């Protein structure tokens, strides 16, 4: 029997008003759920503008304990009402420690736990090491109502080891909330296509669907203007795009995958059977 699951990635712009950002996200979640989506991915740090373009201590005041974050507390009843799974990206504070995290809300609104971003970038326009510690949770897989899912956060998406670790833990779909766009140090550098290809490669090498949600728009006043290139997508197990959005449109990318077929097809490829961890350790 087929196990079909309907996936969605949200794409929109965000500003300085936390409540407006939450309301905008909820409206898109409702729209996605009305179209049949069961697991719905908002983009990274949708609580506000992407503040990591500069180093400014005022942004530490926008972090909350994971289960007290307004994005989590306001999306929990929405998840329960609509019966949908939502990975919620937040700026997390735990005592004196700060993380770029995601809280996984199951389809009854239960918070299944938290993943903290493992790979933290530090470069022009993406100065995240000033704000976030490297995550201490390790990679995780969440047994939600509809599928076992793995969630990486933005910079994690460039690392094949992260995708493989989640696949080895039993993930059936990989999700990546993202905030990425222009490179302030080089106006000629456009990373959109490599960004997509990296994740499409994870899909191929692990025979697994991949969902990526990015923001759009130009965010001003936090150092150099940052142009976010959207292009959110869903790739199937072959890396082919089954749904994608443009660089500028607000909307929802949706797609349906058959987890029963994928489980059998993944076994047939033999990527996990033929691994050689003994040689990896030696090297």
Burial bucket for residue 157 (CB in 10 Å: 0-12, 13-18, 19+): buried
- Exactly one of 52, 71, 92, 154 is catalytic; name it: 154
CA neighbor of 105 nearest in space, from 73, 137, 128, 127: 73
Known active-site residue 52:
no
Q: How far apart are CA 81 and CA 168, in angstroms?
A: 32
User: What counts of helices (H) and strands (E) characterise the chain?
Assistant: 6, 16
Q: Cα-atom radius of gyration of the chain, to the nearest Å?
A: 18
d(CA 155, CA 181): 12
Phi/psi for 256 (5° steps) reads -120, 135
- Known catalytic membership, residue 129: no
- Look up 44 and say whether it is catalytic: yes
Continuous H helices in the chain: 18-34, 70-82, 160-168, 192-206, 259-269, 277-282
Q: Please give the full DSSP string across 25-75, using - where no structure is assigned.
A: HHHHHHHHHHTT-SEEE--TTTTSS-GGGS--GGGGGG-B-GGG-HHHHHH
The DSSP bridge pattern shows strands 86-94 and 97-105 to be antiparallel
Question: Among residues 71, 117, 172, 219, which one is catalytic?
Answer: 117
160-184 burial code (b ≥16 CB/10 A, e <16) = eebbbbbbeeebbbbbbbbbbbbbb
Positions annotated as catalytic residues are 44, 117, 154
């Amino acid at each position: 029997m087929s196990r079909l699951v309907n996936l969605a990635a949200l794409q929109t712009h965000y500003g300085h008003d936390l409540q407006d950002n939450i309301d905008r996200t909820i409206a898109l979640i409702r729209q996605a759920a009305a179209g049949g989506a069961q697991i719905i991915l908002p983009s990274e740090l949708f609580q506000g503008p992407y503040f990591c373009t500069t180093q400014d201590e005022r942004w530490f005041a926008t972090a909350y304990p994971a289960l007290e974050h307004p994005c989590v507390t306001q999306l929990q009843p929405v998840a329960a009402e609509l019966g949908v799974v939502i990975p919620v990206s937040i700026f997390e504070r735990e005592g004196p420690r700060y993380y770029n995290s995601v809280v996984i809300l199951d389809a009854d609104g239960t918070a299944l736990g938290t993943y903290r971003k493992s790979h933290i970038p530090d470069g022009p326009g993406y100065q995240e090491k000033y704000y976030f510690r490297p995550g201490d949770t390790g990679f995780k897989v969440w047994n939600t109502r509809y599928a076992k899912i793995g969630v990486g956060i933005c910079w994690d998406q460039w690392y094949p080891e992260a995708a493989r670790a989640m696949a080895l833990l039993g993930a059936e779909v990989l999700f990546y909330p993202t905030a990425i766009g222009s490179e302030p140090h080089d106006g000629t550098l456009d990373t959109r296509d490599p960004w997509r290809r990296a994740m499409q490669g994870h899909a191929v090498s692990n025979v697994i669907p991949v969902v990526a949600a990015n923001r759009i728009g130009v965010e001003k006043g936090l150092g150099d203007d940052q142009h976010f290139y959207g292009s959110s997508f869903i790739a199937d197990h072959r890396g082919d795009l089954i749904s994608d959005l443009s660089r500028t449109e607000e909307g929802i990318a949706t797609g349906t995958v058959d987890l029963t077929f994928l489980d059998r097809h993944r076994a047939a490829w033999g990527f996990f059977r033929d691994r050689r961890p003994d040689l990896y350790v030696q090297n």
